[in-house]
Amino acid sequence: MPPGPPLFHIHPAPRPMHPFWQGRYTTLISHCTRRRRRPATCHNAARVIIRAAQLSADDAAQPPGALVPTRPEKTLLRIHARRPVWTYVIIGLNASVLIFQKLSLLLFRVTPYGAGLPNLQTLGAKVSTKILTGQLWRLFTAAFLHVNLRHLLFNSYALYALGSAAEILYGGSAFLSIYVAGAVGGNLASLLASATSSRPSVGSSGAVFSLIAAMCVHLERNRKPIGPAARENLKLVALATALNLAGGWLMPSVDGWAHFGGCVFGVLMGARLVPLVVLHRSGATGVVTFVEVRRRGAKAAAVAAVVAVVLAVSVAVLVGIAAGA
């Protein structure tokens, strides 16, 4: 059987090529073949790598002390800026759960009371007294429940605006790990602050705050390669986070401790999974010819998430034992 048409057409790399660029070129071909990326994306990425290799070769060929024309500081390659698929999946999941909440009033004849709090308790809201009696899954399920459509739209907008950037920076695996750890950690902090309360608490804001904290960690760790923009953005994000935390504690209807717990777990997870930005410069001119983002793998992200969840559950169990004693 004759072989099928190639998945994409890429102009062959020139010979000889520096081993660094040859490795990047080979990795790109392998990635495009396994993931079946769009032909235009693979072709443009390969062309940029070849161009960067040629610029480096031209600079290296200049004799010592020669005047080499300067080139503007420009990032020649956007590293795997995939669409934030998991952000859209979580937003859709939250919307589906809210629809199910409304339908459950008819399907299971759950009688709403006030703002529908008994219904939220039945579906898995965070209720401290119930968690301490062994219903530990509420630390996780409460992050997918919302009181009403306005609550859902507010959190969904925050997740779309901030979560998509965090997913592009950290990658899908690390993004999910930070989100899950922030959701569980936020509810754990709320549990510790109100261990004797039977008031339900729901919402994904703790997980969103964990993503914001992880972005702050990214800007702090990569402030040198990113440049002055990293410091300015870090100040703005940190100020907005502090104001939102203060507002959460001042408003009785908002669980400020869940926001605070999400931030703490976001910092811890971000410090473990933060991607490092590495600038590769030309040896002769010092001009940036290639920007590399070194991300953690899916295995490291999964291990970090499991450790965070186990830690949160263990603390909840210990608090329950202490309350029972």
Which pLDDT tens digit goes with each residue over 132-187? 888 888 999 999 999 889 889 999 998 998 888 888 888 888 899 999 999 999 99
Angle at 254 between CA 248 and CA 259, to 5 degrees: 55
34 token code pair: 């396994």
- Which one has a higher pLDDT value, 217 or 59? 217
- CATH 1.20.1540.10 is held by the domain 85-324: yes
In 3D, which of 237, 205, 204 has the Cα closest to residue 218?
A: 237
289 token code pair: 């010819």
> With 80 as the cut, is the pLDDT of residue 131 above it?
yes
What value does the mean pLDDT of the chain take?
A: 75
- Which one has a higher pLDDT value, 296 or 85? 85
pLDDT score at 113 = 47
Would you list the domain boundaries of the chain? 19-55, 85-324
- Tell me phi and psi for residue 265, to 5 degrees: -70, -30
C-alpha 49/C-alpha 25 separation (Å) is 7
Angstrom CA distances, 193 to 32, 135, 190, 254, 257, stand at: 49, 18, 5, 13, 7
Residue 174: exposure state from Cβ atoms within 10 A (0-12, 13-18, ≥19): buried
In 3D, which of 166, 192, 169 has the Cα closest to residue 179?
A: 166
> With 50 as the cut, is the pLDDT of residue 2 above it?
no
How many other C-beta atoms lie within 10 A of the C-beta of residue 213? 26
